[in-house]
């Protein structure tokens, strides 16, 4: 079989494609393709770009192969060679015998120009995407707001502040916004940590390049700053950020921040900068619940192409409830063991390899004394008020919160808790817990108050 015979097959295939697809669709994808040469079982055609090639492969290659097989009675493989822009004369010459040996006139309608995929953003992780972010009850509002921002930056929910404890996915969600905008638009995206922002500021002062520093951060389309709590007690950088904040808001550019606590708890931040952060849509990330922890572990294992038994997923999810980072760290330990030994992960192996992780999680359980002391201080009361018999409204509410937090963060039974709270009956403790659960359903701020109390209690525990 000669190359000329293969060229004949190719031309007959093009005629068949035109009849099947219609003139406009055919011209849009095939008029810029050119027969180049053939091998024993291959036809090589020139095509203008990798994008063009990928689209032809995904949309038409099965149809092309079917037509070629019918004409040749054998399997012929199409290979593509990127040739760049093909001149009109070359295209016409390559198709000279198609459509009754007449020249093909290109249709006015051409394939739409599609933006080439942009390279990965240098400051952000490519695995921090919405696809890899597990959405549950505790972070659904935050995730949906982030997705809306990424699709309409500068207009939907601007500015935006994500806060929550360590390892809960604040940076992941922020960078998912940045990565989506970077990939899907021409918008300029800057991601930085507060530490790097401060370091660049100091360097700009030392090198007398403040104008360059200001221009970099005030003339971007999207500015993402991680961990704003570290700006506390740094007055000059707070002033600079204040003016940058105003400049970007005036230009309707997107601002996104993360913080490890609510803005109201940033005691050493200037009032005018705090007022700017209070303009933000503020979302609170909470520790993942059991079902979400299971989903996170399964999704991560799938992304690593490893299989972890469900009973092991259950074990880890029940024993590590602190944050996403600790969960993933435990899973990475198991994956490393699996890859290095080739042995299947069992519950027994998981218990052995993760015993330190499980113990650390248990050691983080708060003491009842510290819980009572922390809640009392928060409400300007005394521990004796919470343990005593007084039933004024403010004391009862604080006592109920302390009982709820104690039940959530310790292994004590309601009977044991009743003893610690002044010898109360276990039914009183259960009633208090139910009252707080009911308030959580109707008061959207209460969950944030409880998390704030937990942080205060942990800080108090660290001092004793």
> Does the pLDDT at position 386 exceed 80?
yes
pLDDT in the model for residue 119: 81
Mean pLDDT of 281-309: 87
| pLDDT 10s digits, 22-57 | 776 777 788 888 888 888 788 888 888 777 787 788
> Does the pLDDT at position 401 exceed 90?
yes
pLDDT in the model for residue 461: 65
Say which range, 252-266, 305-319, 353-367, has the weakest mean pLDDT.
353-367
Instruction: Enter the CATH code of domain 130-285.
Output: 3.40.50.300
> Does the pLDDT at position 433 exceed 80?
yes
Is 3.30.300.30 the CATH number for 3-101?
A: no
pLDDT in the model for residue 363: 46
Which is nearest to 80 in space by CA: 109, 95, 97, 58? 58
| Rounded distance between C-alpha atoms, residue 98 and residue 166, angstroms | 66
Q: Are 178 and 124 in contact (CB under 8 A)?
A: yes
CATH classification for the domain delimited by 290-363, as one of 2.40.50.140, 1.10.10.10, 1.10.8.60, 1.20.1250.20? 1.10.8.60
Mean pLDDT of 265-277: 88
Domain range summary for the chain, segments of one domain joined by +: 3-101, 130-285, 290-363, 368-463
Which is nearest to 335 in space by CA: 295, 387, 298, 280? 298
pLDDT in the model for residue 92: 43
Confidence of residue 107 (pLDDT cuts 50, 70, 90): very low
Highest mean pLDDT among 87-91, 146-150, 325-329, 444-448: 146-150
Sheet holding 281-285, edge to edge: 189-193, 222-226, 254-259, 160-164, 281-285
pTM: 0.56
Highest mean pLDDT among 151-165, 244-258, 450-464: 244-258
pLDDT in the model for residue 1: 44
pLDDT in the model for residue 432: 93
pLDDT in the model for residue 325: 83
* Homologous superfamily (CATH) for 368-463: DnaA protein, C-terminal DNA-binding domain (1.10.1750.10)
Which is nearest to 11 in space by CA: 86, 82, 67? 67
| Rounded distance between C-alpha atoms, residue 433 and residue 45, angstroms | 72
Higher pLDDT, 170 or 136: 170
384-389-395-398 Cα dihedral, nearest 10 degrees: 70
């Amino acid at each position: 079989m000669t190359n000329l015979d293969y060229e004949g097959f190719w031309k007959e295939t093009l005629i068949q494609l035109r009849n099947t697809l219609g003139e406009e669709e055919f011209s849009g994808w095939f008029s810029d393709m050119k027969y180049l040469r053939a091998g024993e079982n291959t036809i090589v055609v020139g095509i203008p770009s990798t994008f063009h090639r990928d689209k032809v492969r995904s949309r038409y290659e099965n149809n092309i192969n079917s037509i070629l097989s019918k004409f040749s009675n054998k399997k012929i493989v199409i290979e593509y060679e990127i040739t760049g822009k093909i001149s009109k004369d070359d295209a016409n010459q390559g198709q000279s015998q198609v459509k009754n040996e007449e020249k093909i006139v290109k249709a006015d309608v051409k394939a739409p120009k599609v933006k080439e995929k942009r390279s990965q953003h240098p400051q952000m992780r490519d695995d921090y995407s919405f696809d890899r972010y597990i959405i549950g009850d505790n972070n659904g509002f935050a995730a949906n707001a982030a997705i809306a921002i990424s699709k309409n930056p500068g207009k939907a929910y601007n500015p935006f502040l994500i806060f929550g404890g360590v390892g809960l996915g604040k940076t992941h969600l922020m960078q998912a916004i940045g990565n989506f905008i970077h990939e899907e638009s021409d918008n300029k995206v800057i991601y930085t940590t507060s530490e790097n922002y401060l370091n660049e500021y100091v360097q700009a002062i030392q090198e007398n390049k403040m104008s360059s520093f200001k221009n970099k951060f005030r003339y971007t389309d999207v500015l993402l700053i991680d961990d704003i709590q570290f700006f506390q007690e740094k007055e000059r950088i707070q002033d600079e950020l204040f003016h940058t904040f105003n400049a970007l808001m005036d230009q309707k550019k997107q601002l996104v921040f993360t913080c490890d606590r609510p803005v109201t708890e940033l005691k050493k931040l200037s009032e005018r900068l705090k007022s700017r952060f209070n303009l933000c849509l503020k979302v609170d990330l909470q520790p993942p619940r059991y079902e979400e922890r299971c989903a996170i572990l399964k999704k991560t294992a799938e992304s690593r192409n490893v299989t972890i038994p469900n009973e092991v997923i259950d074990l880890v999810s029940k024993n590590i409830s602190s944050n996403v980072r600790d969960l993933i760290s435990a899973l990475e330990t198991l994956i490393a063991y699996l890859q290095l030994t080739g042995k299947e992960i069992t519950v027994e192996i998981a218990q052995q390899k993760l015993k330190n992780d499980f113990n650390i999680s248990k050691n983080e359980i708060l003491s009842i004394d510290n819980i009572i002391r922390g809640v009392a201080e928060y409400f300007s009361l005394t521990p004796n008020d919470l343990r005593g018999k007084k039933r004024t409204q403010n004391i009862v509410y604080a006592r109920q919160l302390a009982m709820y937090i104690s039940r959530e963060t310790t292994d004590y039974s309601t009977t044991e808790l009743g003893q610690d709270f002044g010898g109360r009956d276990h039914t009183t403790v259960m009633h208090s817990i139910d009252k707080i659960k009911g308030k959580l359903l109707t008061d959207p701020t209460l969950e944030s108050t409880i998390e704030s109390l937990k942080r205060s209690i942990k800080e108090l525990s660290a001092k004793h």
